[in-house]
Homo-oligomer: A and B are copies of this chain.
Amino acid sequence: MGGFFTGRSLADLGRDLRSGDTTAAELLAHAFASIDAEENSGENTGEKPKLNAFVTLDREGAEAAAKQADNELGSGVDRGPLHGVPVAVKDIIDVAGLPTGMGSAHFTGHVAGKDAACVTMLRDAGAVIVGKTGTHEFAYGGSGDVSVNGPVRNPHDRERMSGGSSSGSAVAVAAGMVPLALGTDTGGSVRIPAAFCGITGFKPPYGVIPTDGVFPLSPSLDHVGFLAASADDCRIAYHALAGPAEAVSLPVGDTPRVAWIEPESADPDVVRTVRALFSDAPAEPLDLFELRRVFRAIQDCEAYDIHADRVAAAPELYQPPTLERLEQAAPTPGWRYLRAFRERGEFARHVAGLLERYDLLALPTMMMTAPKIGELEGAFGRHAPALVALTCAWNVLGLPALSFPAGTVGGLPVGAQIITRRGAESLLFDTAARLTG
């Protein structure tokens, strides 16, 4: 733990860049030094397993981008708060000229021809892309330990999973290698590793950040999201890419009305830790179990549609748990898919009603702290639906959702999750900043 960017906010970095106390080239050198110290140091070999956050580093491209960022700043061109900032990108998101590996042997040697839309947005904002981060194979899982690149490890305990599927992006931020990373979130894949690794993960409303150039998992549920140390850094990155999209801002001093969604069969210590932040919030019922069924029906059909030809042509190239998930997804009936969209409509109306009476919904991000790598097969069932139990509802509903650090249980991070109306994202950042500040 404790790379260069640990404890340095995007606001700090921006100030130092503009005061001349640092340069984009220096920040990039710090990023690579932090990465190398962790990932490529001979000292680690044999002693402790490396975190394995990155699958590709683009030293040359990043150095050119940093140099350009410095030149621009020097000549008065300021692209805003991400200008000159090193950023990592999940390895299912295309970066032109770099491999997009998807964590899968299916894409060994595959090089992206052009940038994904969100990467173009990053570059337009002046960010410096340092490389690609490890992903659960095809982003199809929440544990982060199923990939042709091997498991991504939790910096708080290397025997534990990082969470996924944006595993490397979360770990790169949690270990201070970069201050910001892009991930994707179909059922929780930004928020899950954020919670397990003790950082902040933000899933914008559906559709706000385009998914062009991102390998699909389930197009009706896929979101691009942000991983950073704090809610303020997520806010800065979100605004840099999407503009200040929010429609709602409460008068200063007002306290948002919060409803507590009580999770069933979660670790009571985890629940207590998060509940303590929202002790005054009345509990409101919401059938998260049924919402997860809706999620599964949609994801099963859409994911198998995307993978059917690969399963037929080269099943042996999948990691066995991924192939097993796909085989379980394949027979999901089409009428259940259609029914799921109708049920989604009913839930959306119900939750819209809740979000008229409350500004925020709050619950833990996860049912538990990070399990040991491989442990899921025992405690939570092989396909680990427990990992998305509290997160996937907000993908189904397309609502903005933020996971932020809420404390620890047994020395491991616990995430609090807050959800609001589309357009009221500021409330999420404000609330998390207030509760962690």
**A338-B306 Cα distance, complex, nearest whole Å:** 9
| Per-position binary interface string of chain A over residues 305-342, scored 1 when its CB falls under 8 Å from any chain B CB and 0 otherwise | 10010000000000000000000011111111111000
Q: Is A302 an interface residue (CB 8 A)?
A: yes
**A385-B339 Cα distance, complex, nearest whole Å:** 26
Q: Which of B297, B300, B329, B334 contacts A336 (CB 8 A)?
A: B334
Q: Is A370 an interface residue (CB 8 A)?
A: no
Q: Is A301 an interface residue (CB 8 A)?
A: yes
Q: Is A394 an interface residue (CB 8 A)?
A: no
| Per-position binary interface string of chain A over residues 274-301, scored 1 when its CB falls under 8 Å from any chain B CB and 0 otherwise | 0000000000000000000000010011
A333 contacts across to B, CB distance below 8 A:
301, 304, 330-334
Q: What is the number of residues of chain A that contact chain B, defined by CB distance less than 8 Å?
A: 18
**A308-B337 Cα distance, complex, nearest whole Å:** 13
A300 contacts across to B, CB distance below 8 A:
334
Q: Which of B305, B335, B338 contacts A335 (CB 8 A)?
A: B305
A335 contacts across to B, CB distance below 8 A:
301-302, 304-305, 308, 329-330, 332
Question: B308 near A339 (CB under 8 angstroms)?
Answer: yes
CB distance from A97 to the nearest CB of B (A): 29
Q: Which of B301, B329, B331, B337 contacts A331 (CB 8 A)?
A: B331
CB distance from A209 to the nearest CB of B (A): 23
| Closest residue on chain B to residue A297 by CB atoms | B334
**A334-B305 Cα distance, complex, nearest whole Å:** 8
**A308-B329 Cα distance, complex, nearest whole Å:** 20
**A300-B302 Cα distance, complex, nearest whole Å:** 17
A337 contacts across to B, CB distance below 8 A:
301, 334, 337-338
- Which of A305, A336, A337 has the most chain B CB within a 10 Å cutoff? A305
Q: Which of B304, B305, B331, B338 contacts A302 (CB 8 A)?
A: B338
**A60-B331 Cα distance, complex, nearest whole Å:** 52
- Which of A302, A332, A333 has the most chain B CB within a 10 Å cutoff? A333
| Closest residue on chain B to residue A326 by CB atoms | B335
A330 contacts across to B, CB distance below 8 A:
333, 335
CB distance from A158 to the nearest CB of B (A): 37
CB distance from A156 to the nearest CB of B (A): 38
Q: Which A residues between 228 and 246 are near B, CB-CB below 8 angstroms? A: none
CB distance from A31 to the nearest CB of B (A): 40
Q: Which A residues between 356 and 373 are near B, CB-CB below 8 angstroms? A: none
**A334-B300 Cα distance, complex, nearest whole Å:** 8
**A332-B338 Cα distance, complex, nearest whole Å:** 12
Question: B332 near A301 (CB under 8 angstroms)?
Answer: no
**A339-B305 Cα distance, complex, nearest whole Å:** 6
CB distance from A77 to the nearest CB of B (A): 43
CB distance from A336 to the nearest CB of B (A): 7
A302 contacts across to B, CB distance below 8 A:
334-335, 338
CB distance from A55 to the nearest CB of B (A): 28
A308 contacts across to B, CB distance below 8 A:
335, 339
CB distance from A430 to the nearest CB of B (A): 39
| Closest residue on chain B to residue A301 by CB atoms | B334
CB distance from A329 to the nearest CB of B (A): 8
**A337-B330 Cα distance, complex, nearest whole Å:** 12
| Closest residue on chain B to residue A332 by CB atoms | B334
- Chosen A-B contacts, 6 in total, with CB atoms closer than 8 Å, are A297-B334, A302-B335, A305-B335, A331-B333, A332-B333, A333-B334
Give the 6 A-B CB pairs with smallest separation, nearest first: A301-B334, A334-B337, A304-B335, A305-B335, A305-B338, A334-B334
